[in-house]
Structure 1
């Protein structure tokens, strides 16, 4: 970038400072650093700003910007002088900036076009300026504001920072640290939730719809869409858009969206792919909120389609529109006050309690058929197709506040932003269960239409993220519906104890076997006999539910010949409605919630709370119950983190990494001393090692350590040898050291590449290994396992996402298959597991706190009876292009392959 007047080369801003964002009302905008070529945009913007707003900004009448002002405002160095602009379409609607005024201190100011004030723009600018400032070493913002500029004062004080203010000489002076405190992050997340929820609201609750590409021809998508909207009894206005027709399916047709006389909230687009961009411009001019693009011919078709899809999303966002699709099946809302079927499915599912998001249009119709056949019912449904803009995360934000949605169902073919998914899902799962199927779980592959970066973290880490977030991850769609119908209609169990009541001994035995395999305990079995009737079932079920040793009941009813079972069904339905414990059934081999087992619902759902779900196989019933039990157990785990964060020296750790990266900007593998000092900041004592290249150096090291030492090779290709031939222990003098040196040279003749070290001999114990890594897309990951090559061969490792709560570390240590080695296996000593867990929590916290740590490995931690000795470490740090900035600022997922839409 260069100044056209002087020829001076101007700096380029970091590319990750540019982003699409959502405003308070759910509409999109684009934020980016200001550029010299924005001069005309700035002048036009300033001309639209009122004199009052200009006075609030400059404390004096300033009707126009001089040429010098324009140059000063648009040419910044992106270090001490940083400015961001907010764009909608081709117009600048706001500008914010900071100018350094001292060491670690900068003055901040905003100017927002009057008609866009009240949309949360000042708060967005503050977030992005604060993150840029943190990256540039700014620690504190200051501002001067006129006393009656209440909105601006409120912007600063509502940001979650500790703002100090004083009145002096007619101005209010404000100052605050921009450290990303938990309070500030909580405030940001609340605003993110409101904006993303608002952006989805109009998709589900539009007052008016335009079907663009509506057609009079039979067997066309445009005609089917109009038919489904109209026959679905949509309660709003429906407009058909077809430039070549006067009417479609009895509706007057308009040539363009702009010709429609009333407002249009939602556009359903079914035109050829190369015409969709024209539709976007037409909808933007009309003020449409969102688009559901049914049209195919985008990223699912290849490189040309991917380019077309990038342009579509960029154009839509730049004009403030959200987009579902392209290649989508559509959107459904079963609320009788809306009754919206803006999809290609002719099946309008019954009203229920579950919201469903899927990404496959092909599967969408089959899913709706299955929902309908099971009598499950949905509140809302979205098939997002290529998921180019609106992701599942935004739907989670909406469903979190939607009182009619009690269960969330997700069929995920890709995860656009797993860090954000984890953060939102952890919060939503505390209020309502999330049941998810993730395709490509083993291969981590994604469909062709989904342009996402591959996650470098192993698939086990993704599974761990789902577990930590409380997401009930199942393997198939059938199992998803099995769990959903239980969640939607029955209460949560208090524990794992199950009673089986039935008239089939064979099925009862199958239920007991399935329960044992799923981690449940059958502590009561009531065999009623094949001829048992309603009265016998009622007595047995009442007794089981009243039993304090029972947490859930499985009822099995296979009727004798020529018996309908209606009397037994009435008993099951009555008990299911009144019970505070979950009741599942295998009733007549039926699947779903049969009519006979349904309880009327005052909210309008086909099957109300207390309806008893039925499963064709008793194993399916038990498996679904086990999934629900695990979720109930997760809900009861504490949400607080570990209690030892106050014992770490975060400031010193960050300072150390910062100085090392200044000396080694390409990245650096820490020396033994540097690793020792960094780990010490987090209360981890790395045992000192002496690197030696000769027997004489080894003897000197043994003397320095007071003997009782170990000589070992530490080169990566040697240190995991299963025969341990690279290690010589219990060396107590120079003669023993010389013998050890000679013996090791027989195994490792090349001293230069062996990495020989001398270290104090540790007490006996079980070797464990801990590793962390920073995935650019996924974020921090930590793993744990028993040390040695067998762990790698058998992939016996536990994974979690930092930071870890105390129960997370406890679960990691216990869930690996080799965990009995730590708990006195075959008479061995029980190791100090609490110290192992403490070290796990600390390195997880270090990786979480310092994202510049690319990888951290403790390959040998010797866990003994009275502590754990950290005998080795390998730490690499690298500068981050984008240091998790999406944790600290609101932004939409990037459009792959494009950096600018402004």
Structure 2
């Protein structure tokens, strides 16, 4: 909800009558009057029955509960016009202003659309400004008029770009607030605090205290009089004030009772470090689901279980509720991880490299609070200028895509993941796996602008750079070094990663007999002069061993480079090769200290090899270009009839049983595609030559004859297609020859089709993936996709810039732009077709698969020659439009 707490929304039930009566009795006279246009001290039995007995189709109602208490109810009743329904809400006085009305509206609109309703109406008293605001703030086009003392409100509930944006904005504010409350609690209780040194309960309490937490902290242990030098409390009942965050470190069997105690005392959030849940197998997963249900029902969010903790370095908070023995230095990097071991690994790596953190959150089994929630928080957090995320699994990738795309526009987001993420689940993670084509996850992440890396070392390479350096403005790289051979190696590495060597400077190679200070000054001057030249966007400083072999010499050189580059807009990285100082075994942040200025941490990123530094630069140059490029606007194709398409799909999907798919006939596919302004070139199957001739006369000469089989229909080499047949005699002859040639393949059926304008053959597919949701793929037909897997994949909704980049992304895309002297194709028409396919797939999760093969793109438009469409049972849908947290 708007205040960051949780509530349970579900359909109303008959047994809710008593709870609804209690809510009504607790309302003020004013609230009752605004809802019922009169005052009534209680609801009659008949009214309670009407409000709680619905048919879930023509009459639908949702309640929002906290524990057993009803916070609000919203309903619609279908009117005489079957496309219209009247909507009404009643929110308890104590819960008003928390966004409950807006949330109920979102869910009622979804339910109404699924039941064929397209328009909501309501009657509101003019003085009920809060309810009028709920309607006005939906993002729908609301009309209002004054009639007989009330305001009549009416609006279409078909989703629009504005209504989606409003919903996403509400979601963003609520989720960011919920994480902020967890990271900056007013008071903390450690439940399971222990006197035993080395135990988790002991470490958590000690780390919070020694980290300098600014609020009160309480140790809860019924069996000890004193823990960590303070009086122990037996339970939360003995705590003298409210507790915002409860850190739970008790055995798994005791957790349910602890959570219930937290609910009774108004705790806002739980950090559960206890293991033995989904990380312990199926039985543990059942316990984990029960834990989350229990917490959410009582308004609490959950970090964990099996979490390594959370950290907030803000001076006004200084919270180290983690297994780390000390609070990190303050810095601009926000980190999120899932499993505890990865969280510990990231913290240790950040400490070794001197990276300052704003906050860090380990989600453990990620039963509730997820990376999506953390990114919502990082987006709003002024102390976080760069975000690092280590993902072991995806929960809601469509939502991740939307959030990351927005966050990447303002802050660099670095995501570490394995190549098998999405296809294999780590222990303790419960989510779907992907069946999308290989590369779809990479494409989705690329689309969002996140910087992808393979492991935590690569993640930290990027984080230490974005923590201390400005983003490179372009690909021009300068090289400063003290070895001609090493400079050459660096130049090769720079060019290998797609960057441009714009300047090279060779400083004197001073041996140990000379004063090291002179060598340090020479490097500093070279750095300053190269930056001042204005010829470079980034600078690599690479020196060999010889001038910095004494203890402290490497630090002096790194500090000199940092001093010479301070305040510049040029990205500066260093690699001190051959250093014997063990602190330089891996990349590190070295300079004049951990303090920050202008949002960046002081220091210079130092890498163990020039190749590492060049790789980091190449990724940052890519990100800068993505960020500077026009974001584009969502494409809304014209002439789309979504409502008719929905009716058709529901009818066809009803023929599907379980997970079976229903293949649409050519006529059905044509009708559905017509709702989205897509036309397929007509074709006609035939049995005899005479039927083929009559079909050709109807369709128009010249014609092509194709095998119906999807594999053979495009294979000229196998005899599966004959082109440019101009008359009846030639058609009869070709049909006879084809049947003879195709006999070894089982004599597949044949069809005749008018010849399309010549052009480049392309392939378009779209599918509903269990993990990613809708995925649209594009490639150049033939060997490029069949043998080389030369596809580009995107996740709708798509912007005009997405579409432009999509047709240019395949390696064989040069064929679309005048390759080999051929005319360039009509790219506008090709993008329009892709936009319509993406819209169809995004609107209708029941459409399991679409395949256009081939699509002929010519200089005069595009022609779809063949299509296959499968639909699935609506119960199998995997869309994520509703604002629901995982069960």
The answer to whether residue 561 in structure 2 is matched with residue 572 in structure 1 is yes
Determine the structure 1 residue equivalent to 2:514: none
1:376, 1:592 within 8 Å by CA — same for their partners in 2? no
1:214, 1:222 within 8 Å by CA — same for their partners in 2? yes
Determine the structure 2 residue equivalent to 1:514: 493
Determine the structure 2 residue equivalent to 1:658: 647
With 331-340 and 571-580 compared, the bigger mean Cα shift is at 571-580
Question: Take 2:449 and 2:103, find their aligned partners in 1: how far apart are those partners?
Answer: 30
Deviation at 1:560, TM superposition (A): 2.4
Deviations 1:812-855 (A, max 9, x none): 33332333444455555554444433332332233223434222
With 353-362 and 115-124 compared, the bigger mean Cα shift is at 115-124
Determine the structure 1 residue equivalent to 2:751: 757
Question: Take 1:753 and 1:284, find their aligned partners in 2: how far apart are those partners?
Answer: 71
2:331, 2:594 within 8 Å by CA — same for their partners in 1? no
Determine the structure 2 residue equivalent to 1:741: 735
Question: Take 2:833 and 2:138, find their aligned partners in 1: how far apart are those partners?
Answer: 35
Question: Take 1:49 and 1:806, find their aligned partners in 2: how far apart are those partners?
Answer: 50
1:769, 1:859 within 8 Å by CA — same for their partners in 2? yes
Question: Take 2:206 and 2:54, find their aligned partners in 1: how far apart are those partners?
Answer: 56
Determine the structure 1 residue equivalent to 2:282: 303
With 178-187 and 317-326 compared, the bigger mean Cα shift is at 178-187
With 655-664 and 377-386 compared, the bigger mean Cα shift is at 655-664
Deviation at 1:331, TM superposition (A): 0.8
- Cα pair distance change 1:507/1:842, threshold 3 Å: farther
Deviations 1:360-390 (A, max 9, x none): 2112222211111101111111111101011
Superposition pairs of residues 131-142 of structure 1, within 5 angstroms: 131-142=110-121
1:657, 1:852 within 8 Å by CA — same for their partners in 2? no
Deviation at 1:663, TM superposition (A): 5.8
Question: Take 2:554 and 2:259, find their aligned partners in 1: how far apart are those partners?
Answer: 57
Deviation at 1:761, TM superposition (A): 2.6
The answer to whether residue 16 in structure 2 is matched with residue 30 in structure 1 is no
- Cα pair distance change 1:154/1:765, threshold 3 Å: closer
With 571-580 and 721-730 compared, the bigger mean Cα shift is at 721-730
1:235, 1:338 within 8 Å by CA — same for their partners in 2? yes
- Cα pair distance change 1:793/1:390, threshold 3 Å: same
Question: Take 2:560 and 2:27, find their aligned partners in 1: how far apart are those partners?
Answer: 71
1:131 is paired with a residue of what secondary structure? helix
Deviations 1:618-637 (A, max 9, x none): 01101011111111111122
Superposition pairs of residues 772-851 of structure 1, within 5 angstroms: 772-788=766-782, 791-825=785-819, 830-851=824-845
The answer to whether residue 611 in structure 2 is matched with residue 625 in structure 1 is no
Determine the structure 2 residue equivalent to 1:581: 570
The answer to whether residue 883 in structure 2 is matched with residue 890 in structure 1 is yes
Question: Take 1:682 and 1:138, find their aligned partners in 2: how far apart are those partners?
Answer: 21
Determine the structure 1 residue equivalent to 2:273: 294
Determine the structure 2 residue equivalent to 1:615: 607
Q: Equivalent of 1:217, from 196, 199, 203?
A: 196
Question: Take 2:355 and 2:310, find their aligned partners in 1: how far apart are those partners?
Answer: 18
Determine the structure 1 residue equivalent to 2:853: 859
1:268 is paired with a residue of what secondary structure? strand
Q: TM-score, normalised by structure 1?
A: 0.91
The answer to whether residue 246 in structure 2 is matched with residue 267 in structure 1 is yes
Q: Equivalent of 1:870, from 855, 864, 872?
A: 864
Question: Take 2:268 and 2:634, find their aligned partners in 1: how far apart are those partners?
Answer: 44
1:105, 1:138 within 8 Å by CA — same for their partners in 2? yes
Deviation at 1:746, TM superposition (A): 2.3
Deviation at 1:879, TM superposition (A): 5.0
Q: Equivalent of 2:666, from 650, 669, 672?
A: 672
2:191, 2:249 within 8 Å by CA — same for their partners in 1? yes
Question: Take 1:660 and 1:455, find their aligned partners in 2: how far apart are those partners?
Answer: 24
The answer to whether residue 227 in structure 2 is matched with residue 241 in structure 1 is no
Question: Take 2:835 and 2:150, find their aligned partners in 1: how far apart are those partners?
Answer: 48
2:566 is paired with a residue of what secondary structure? helix
1:504, 1:558 within 8 Å by CA — same for their partners in 2? yes
Deviation at 1:546, TM superposition (A): 3.6
Q: Equivalent of 1:150, from 121, 129, 132?
A: 129
2:356, 2:594 within 8 Å by CA — same for their partners in 1? no
1:557, 1:586 within 8 Å by CA — same for their partners in 2? yes
Deviations 1:722-744 (A, max 9, x none): 83421122222233223222221
- Cα pair distance change 1:695/1:790, threshold 3 Å: farther
1:573, 1:598 within 8 Å by CA — same for their partners in 2? no
The answer to whether residue 59 in structure 2 is matched with residue 81 in structure 1 is yes
Determine the structure 2 residue equivalent to 1:5: none
Deviation at 1:242, TM superposition (A): 0.9
The answer to whether residue 223 in structure 2 is matched with residue 230 in structure 1 is no
- Cα pair distance change 1:704/1:159, threshold 3 Å: closer
- Cα pair distance change 1:138/1:29, threshold 3 Å: same
2:874 is paired with a residue of what secondary structure? coil
With 729-738 and 475-484 compared, the bigger mean Cα shift is at 729-738
Q: Equivalent of 2:639, from 649, 652, 658?
A: 649
Q: Equivalent of 2:530, from 535, 544, 547?
A: 544
Q: TM-score, normalised by structure 2?
A: 0.93
Superposition pairs of residues 404-415 of structure 1, within 5 angstroms: 404-415=383-394
2:139, 2:163 within 8 Å by CA — same for their partners in 1? yes
The answer to whether residue 544 in structure 2 is matched with residue 554 in structure 1 is no
Deviations 1:509-566 (A, max 9, x none): 2222222232212232223342383454344334432444422111112252456266
Determine the structure 2 residue equivalent to 1:10: none
Deviation at 1:276, TM superposition (A): 0.4
1:745, 1:751 within 8 Å by CA — same for their partners in 2? no
- Cα pair distance change 1:752/1:592, threshold 3 Å: closer
Determine the structure 1 residue equivalent to 2:49: 71
Question: Take 1:566 and 1:764, find their aligned partners in 2: how far apart are those partners?
Answer: 66
The answer to whether residue 578 in structure 2 is matched with residue 601 in structure 1 is no
With 442-451 and 347-356 compared, the bigger mean Cα shift is at 442-451
1:28 is paired with a residue of what secondary structure? coil
The answer to whether residue 182 in structure 2 is matched with residue 203 in structure 1 is yes
Deviation at 1:809, TM superposition (A): 2.7
Structure 2 regions of 5+ residues with no counterpart? 511-517, 657-661
2:811 is paired with a residue of what secondary structure? coil
Determine the structure 2 residue equivalent to 1:694: 688
Question: Take 1:174 and 1:733, find their aligned partners in 2: how far apart are those partners?
Answer: 64
Q: Equivalent of 1:715, from 705, 709, 716?
A: 709
1:313, 1:388 within 8 Å by CA — same for their partners in 2? yes
Deviation at 1:615, TM superposition (A): 0.8
Deviations 1:81-126 (A, max 9, x none): 1111111112222111111223222111111221222222111111
Question: Take 1:664 and 1:184, find their aligned partners in 2: how far apart are those partners?
Answer: 28
- Cα pair distance change 1:884/1:137, threshold 3 Å: farther
The answer to whether residue 761 in structure 2 is matched with residue 767 in structure 1 is yes
1:239, 1:253 within 8 Å by CA — same for their partners in 2? yes
Deviation at 1:575, TM superposition (A): 2.8
Determine the structure 1 residue equivalent to 2:366: 387
Deviation at 1:753, TM superposition (A): 6.7
Deviations 1:563-600 (A, max 9, x none): 62666444411232121121111135534444446584
Question: Take 1:750 and 1:138, find their aligned partners in 2: how far apart are those partners?
Answer: 54
Determine the structure 1 residue equivalent to 2:506: 527
- Cα pair distance change 1:815/1:529, threshold 3 Å: farther
2:787 is paired with a residue of what secondary structure? helix
1:504, 1:527 within 8 Å by CA — same for their partners in 2? yes
Deviation at 1:777, TM superposition (A): 4.0
- Cα pair distance change 1:869/1:141, threshold 3 Å: closer
Superposition pairs of residues 145-544 of structure 1, within 5 angstroms: 145-439=124-418, 441=420, 444-531=423-510, 533-544=519-530
1:241, 1:255 within 8 Å by CA — same for their partners in 2? yes
Deviation at 1:657, TM superposition (A): 4.5
